[in-house]
Chain A
Amino acid sequence: MARRSGNWLDSAPVLADTVRFGVPEWLTSELAAEIGRGIIVTIVVTLVTTASSFVVGLTAAIGRRSRRDWARRISATFIEIFRNVPALILLIFWAFAVPNLLPADLRRTVFFRNGFWDLLGDITTLPLPYYACAAVVALTCNTGAHLAEVLRSGLDAVPPDRVAAARSLGATTRVAYFTVTIPDGVRIAFPGVINRLIHNLKNTALVGFVAVPDAFQEIQGAITDTFQATELLIAAAILYLALATLLEFGLRRIEVALWRGRSLDRTVDV
């Protein structure tokens, strides 16, 4: 609570003291603003990776069930590689290892200082946007591969009579696939998808490792500034619990909306 002149609390000294007592002295407004920015970074990274890994996961799941041999093989390779390597290793690899492929001066122009990264830096207000992009790519690979397996089992579980009904109504195989199998498969797999996406939210706490100023990174920075480790770490835990609860709530709403007016017991949606 910032101290402002003319605050109505000033006229009620007892109450004002209680409120000021609630906000510790070390928590300055600059510190709060930094942590707030970190929270926004965490939320943005979570939302971006949620969307991208869903797209990647669905594509890989469809590829995994494809009739075409090459599509199946590429998808299987993607899934098995990125599912079995820790997210942290992927993060360090894309962010720190890949730029080292180039010699120092070229590295700077390609990954850090050119029109594209400057523009991205201006938009996101991040000092080194490449790291954020690398983090998003790494998390997308990891979560995408896990989602692919979840979604594949969902697609496999679609009752065949629903597809047959669409076919008998005149839909081509392709149309039936896109209007029946994929939407139903996503619906069936959605509880698993929710689980994995919450895991993804927690994985975003790792992006601080690769110099992305997310909430946990900012909180750790605040600890070095203030030495209030216990309070700030408990705050971090509560923050992530809250974000996870919020994300789960939102995704459950989406799940309910996906099922509205539909049931797998009926062959055709009315």
Chain B
Amino acid sequence: MSEQIEFLWRQLPNLLWGFPNNRPGGLLLSILLSASAIAVGLGLAVGLAFGRHSRLRLVRVTAGRVVWTLRGIPLIVLLVLLFQFLGTGAFFGIEFSAFWSAFTTLTLYAAAYQADVLYAGIAAVPQQLRDDARLLGATPTAVARTVTLPYSLRTMRPALTTQAITIFKDSSVVVVLGVTDLTTNARIALGGNVANAPYWVSVYLLVGFLYWCVAFGIARIAERRIEHRPRPIASAYV
């Protein structure tokens, strides 16, 4: 028991923020990687979601196909496939490192899922609201920017939070490229050493607990914020 605790204590910094020669890593890198992928992905998702509502058939179909393709391929396949292209410099002649390739893939993956949520969110904006804004003299672009987008982001906030948590958990798959996130560091900490066999259960319990803390924590904070906040747009609309 005591050697279990000692082993975990020794590995805890490696799991939390990476091995000394490779920081940031571990849980910190998992959070940074998924948070930035979610943020950049949200930007792309806005484009894709509006694209799917576009009046131009070509734009609509293309955006729909992109989302469908990215959503239909498992993240692990997507990671390996894009690394095959990006890592060898097949695109733009730049050789992406495993980390940047993983970041790009995760961003696209996040964008597709968030675009799906936002697509529904945009569809849920009352036509009346948009018509009113148009009557007040706003251009269609201004309506999209000041009415449709904020409204859909607000109504879809719970769904987007759930999606963000999912992407955070799915980011564990980057282990396939050897990006030193939490999962990879757990594997490195245990290594191929047979002497470490007794520690597998405790290390993975700890890793699972760390993922759980972040995922459950975000869910709880989001829940509380939504409970305490009245729906602002609805009141503005009345």
Report A's interface with B, CB cutoff 8 A: 80-81, 83-90, 92-93, 96-98, 100-101, 104, 202-206, 216, 220, 229-230, 233-234, 236-237, 240-241, 244-245
B44: Cβ under 8 A from any A Cβ: no
| A234 CB contacts on chain B under 8 angstroms | 81
Which of A83, A85, A203 has a CB less than 8 Å from the CB of B208?
A: A85
CA separation between A104 and B200, bound complex, in Å? 13
Are A241's CB and B72's CB within 8 A?
A: yes
* B200→A88 contact, CB < 8 A: no
Whether B172 contacts A89 by the Cβ 8 Å rule is yes
C-alpha gap A87/B198 in the complex (Å): 22
Q: Does B207 contact A (CB under 8 A)?
A: yes
Q: Given that A93-B204, A233-B84 are contacting pairs, would A88 and B172 also be in contact in the complex, using a CB cutoff of 8 Å?
A: yes
A201 to chain B, nearest CB (A): 8
Looking at chain B's contact residues, is the secondary structure mostly helix, strand, loop, or mixed?
helix
Question: How many chain B residues touch A (Cβ–Cβ < 8 Å)?
Answer: 33
In the assembled complex, the Cα of A96 lies from the Cα of B73 at a distance in Å of 26
Asked if B215 and A84 sit within 8 Å, CB to CB, the answer is yes
Please, which residue of chain A has its CB at the minimum distance from the CB of B207?
A89
Partner of B197, one of A84, A100, A237: A100
Option from A80, A101, A233 in Cβ contact (under 8 Å) with B80? A233
Given A88-B183, A202-B73: A229 touches B212 (CB 8 Å cut-off)? no
Assess whether B201 is in contact with A101, with CB atoms less than 8 Å apart: yes
The answer to whether the Cβ of B146 comes within 8 Å of any Cβ in the partner chain is no
What residues of A have a CB within 8 angstroms of the CB of B203 in the complex?
97
Contact pick for A86, options B172, B198, B200, B216, CB 8 Å = B172
Determine whether the beta carbon of B216 is less than 8 Å from that of A80.
yes
Provide a sorted-by-A list of 28 A–B residue pairs whose CB atoms are within 8 angstroms: A81-B212, A83-B215, A84-B165, A84-B216, A86-B169, A86-B170, A89-B172, A89-B204, A89-B208, A93-B205, A93-B208, A97-B201, A97-B205, A98-B201, A100-B200, A101-B201, A202-B72, A202-B74, A205-B76, A205-B77, A206-B173, A216-B77, A230-B84, A233-B80, A233-B84, A237-B81, A241-B69, A244-B72
Cα A13 to Cα B219 with chains together (Å): 64
Given A86-B183, A87-B169, A237-B78, 10 more A-B residue pairs with CB atoms under 8 Å apart are A85-B212, A85-B215, A86-B211, A96-B200, A205-B74, A205-B76, A206-B173, A237-B77, A241-B69, A241-B73
